[in-house]
């Protein structure tokens, strides 16, 4: 703590500024001005000068008259007074909606569909998937549901979302040519085909669907395959392979037969990939010939 300077000169100067009596040494034998009431006036101005000096030094707050030794205080924290709950105003409780398991809901809805139209209706009323909010149309199926070949397509893109079909635009045009080359098609061909999409709604910005969305909608796809009951399944693209075979990498998987729900399944390139990579059409043609041969073997 800084030392306090001599206040005598400051007191005298302050007293003179405030109009107090001038300082002088009394030589009266009667005792001087203190017997005339001058002592109390001088004490007032001295105290006032001291307070003004303290304010100028920064001591401008009065805390307590005496210091407190807080080490001697009790360590116990004072308890809050008890509040009578009965005196409180009654606040209505907000009901919390029960947590919904979307996969369980999808499984229940899909299992309740007795036929393909009922499955479409169940999908149309299923609101637990976020993909539905950003899509324009439900992409359910195209072609003859009794066909021997069922194609599982990639998630819908812009053209498919507008048309509400698994294949549309340039993708549909190329696929029609590919199938026609082996005597197949969606209509007016010796052997009809049936197609659906791995997820029925277009993902935002054409991104691959999240695992949660794909797993949520998988019961509907499984039920769709069971109701259609095709002889052969064609997995066109990486997302269908991941959803139904648990593997990714269509370039590595294409042309290799697998099993989906007890049925032979053939991974193939999607028409969109062939439009971006025309050199891959040679592998696609080999896969089409393998599909035709498999159907012939199953029929014999």
Could you report the per-residue pLDDT of 164-209, keeping only the tens digit for each?
999 999 999 999 999 999 999 998 888 999 999 999 999 998 898 9
Structural domain boundaries enclosing 284 = 116-299
Degrees, nearest 5: CA angle 68-69-75: 115
CA distance 7 to 9: 6
CB 181 within 8 A of CB 228: no
Do 13 and 140 have their domain in common? no
Residue 138 domain-assigned (yes or no): yes
Do 275 and 160 have their domain in common? yes
Report the pLDDT averaged over residues 84-107. Answer: 73
Residue 110 domain-assigned (yes or no): no
Residue 69 domain-assigned (yes or no): no
Do 13 and 138 have their domain in common? no
For 181, phi then psi, to 5°, come to -65, -20
Residue 81 domain-assigned (yes or no): no
Do 149 and 15 have their domain in common? no
Do 152 and 260 have their domain in common? yes
Residue 6 token pair: 């001599």
Residue 268 domain-assigned (yes or no): yes
**Which residues, 6+ apart, have CB-to-CB distance to 145 below 8 Å?**
116, 194, 227, 228
Under DSSP, the state recorded for 105 is H
Q: What is the CATH number of the domain that holds 237?
A: 3.40.470.10
> Lowest-confidence range among 101-105, 146-150, 258-262, 271-275?
101-105
- Using one digit for the tens of pLDDT, what is the confidence trace for 131-144? 999 999 999 999 99
**Which residues, 6+ apart, have CB-to-CB distance to 151 below 8 Å?**
166, 193, 194, 195, 196, 233, 234, 236
Do 148 and 295 have their domain in common? yes
* Average of per-residue pLDDT values in the chain: 84
Residue 88 has pLDDT above 90, yes or no: no
Residue 74 domain-assigned (yes or no): no
Do 41 and 144 have their domain in common? no
Do 292 and 215 have their domain in common? yes
CA 235 to chain centre: 31
Do 125 and 269 have their domain in common? yes
CB 267 within 8 A of CB 255: yes
pTM of the predicted structure, to 2 decimals? 0.68
Torsion of CA 26, 28, 30, 32, to 10 degrees: -20
Residue closest to 147 by CA, chosen among 185, 95, 106: 185
Do 180 and 272 have their domain in common? yes
Do 155 and 258 have their domain in common? yes
Do 126 and 47 have their domain in common? no
CB 211 within 8 A of CB 237: no
Residue 215 token pair: 């797993």
Q: Domain total for the chain?
A: 2
- Phi/psi region, residue 118 (left: phi>0; alpha: psi -120 to 50; beta: rest), is alpha
Residue 287 domain-assigned (yes or no): yes
- SS3 category, 286: helix
CA distance 239 to 283: 19
Residue 107 domain-assigned (yes or no): no
Report the pLDDT averaged over residues 88-113. Answer: 81
């Amino acid at each position: 703590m800084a030392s306090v300077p001599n206040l005598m000169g400051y007191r005298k100067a302050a007293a003179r500024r405030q109009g107090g009596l001038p300082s002088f040494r009394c030589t009266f034998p009667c005792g001087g001005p203190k017997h005339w009431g001058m002592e109390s006036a001088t004490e007032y101005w001295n105290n006032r000068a001291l307070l003004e000096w303290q304010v100028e030094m920064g001591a401008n707050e009065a805390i307590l008259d005496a210091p407190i030794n807080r080490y001697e205080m009790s360590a116990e924290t004072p308890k809050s007074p008890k509040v009578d709950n009965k005196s409180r105003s009654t606040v209505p409780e907000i009901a919390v909606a029960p947590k919904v398991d979307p996969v369980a809901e999808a499984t229940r809805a899909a299992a309740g569909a007795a036929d393909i139209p009922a499955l479409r209706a169940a999908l149309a009323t299923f609101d637990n998937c976020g993909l539905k909010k950003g899509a324009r149309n439900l992409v359910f199926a195209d072609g003859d549901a009794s066909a021997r070949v069922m194609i599982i397509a990639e998630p819908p893109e812009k053209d498919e979302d507008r048309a509400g079909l698994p294949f549309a635009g340039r993708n549909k045009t190329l696929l029609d040519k590919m199938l026609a080359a082996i005597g197949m098609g969606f209509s007016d061909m010796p052997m009809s085909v049936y197609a659906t999409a791995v997820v029925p709604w277009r993902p935002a910005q054409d991104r691959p669907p999240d695992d949660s969305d794909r797993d949520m909608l998988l019961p509907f796809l499984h039920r769709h395959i069971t109701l259609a009951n095709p002889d052969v399944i064609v997995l066109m693209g990486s997302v269908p392979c991941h959803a139904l075979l648990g593997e990714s990498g269509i370039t590595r998987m294409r042309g290799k037969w697998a099993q989906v729900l007890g049925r032979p399944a053939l991974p193939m390139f999607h028409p969109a990939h062939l439009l971006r990579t025309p050199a891959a059409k040679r592998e696609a043609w080999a896969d089409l010939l393998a599909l035709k041969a498999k159907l012939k073997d199953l029929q014999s």
